[in-house]
Amino acid sequence: MVSAQRGNRDAYAKFLSEVSVLLRGYVGRRINGADEVEDVLQEVLISLHLVRHTYVPGRPVGPWLYAIADHRIADSFRRARRMDKGKCELSDEVADSGGRHFHRDPRGEAIRHALTKLPQVQRRVIEMMKIEELPVREVAAHMGMSESLVKVTAFRGYETLRRILGVTKKSEQTT
Partner 1 sequence: MTSTPRPLIGFCAWAAASIPLFGAGALLVGIRPDLLSRWAEPRFLLEAGLVLCLAGSAVFAALALSVPDRRKPWLQVLPIAALICWTAVAAYMAASEVDAQPGAGLACLRNILALSLAPGALIYRALSKAAPFRSDLIGFLAGIGVSALGYLATRITCRNDDPLHVLLFHFLPVIAMSAAGAAIGRALFRRVSPKREMTAGFLDRGL
- Separation CA 28–CA 32 (nearest Å): 7
Residue 132 CB, nearest approach to partner 1 (Å): 19
C-alpha span between 81 and 7 (Å, rounded): 39
* Binding status of residue 79 toward partner 1 by CB under 8 A: yes
Burial of 112 (0-12, 13-18, 19+ CB in 10 A): middle
Do 117 and 81 meet the contact criterion of CB atoms below 8 Å apart? no
Q: Which of 27, 88, 126, 152 binds partner 1 (CB under 8 A)?
A: 152
Site string for partner 1, 2-41 (x = CB under 8 A): ---xxx-------------------------------x--
Q: How far is it, in rounded angstroms, from Cα 51 to Cα 68?
A: 9
Pick one of 24, 28, 47, 167: the residue that binds partner 1 (CB under 8 A): 47
Which range touches partner 1 (CB under 8 A), out of 55-63, 108-116, 130-138, 167-175? 55-63
User: What whole-number distance in Å separates Cα of residue 26 and Cα of residue 65?
Assistant: 11
- Least distance from partner 1 to the Cβ atom of residue 64, Å: 4
Indicate whether 64 belongs to the interface with partner 1 (CB under 8 A): yes
171 exposed, middle or buried (CB, 10 Å; 0-12, 13-18, 19+)?
exposed
> In terms of C-beta density within 10 A (0-12 exposed, 13-18 middle, 19 or more buried), how is residue 137 classed?
exposed
Chain residues 90-109 in contact with partner 1, contact rule CB under 8 A? none
Asked if residue 75 binds partner 1 (CB under 8 A), the reply is yes
Instruction: Determine if 45 is a binding residue for partner 1 (CB under 8 A).
Output: no
Residues that bind partner 1 (CB under 8 A): 5-7, 39, 42-43, 47, 50-57, 59-60, 63-65, 67-68, 71-72, 75, 79, 119, 121, 143, 145, 149, 152-153, 155-156
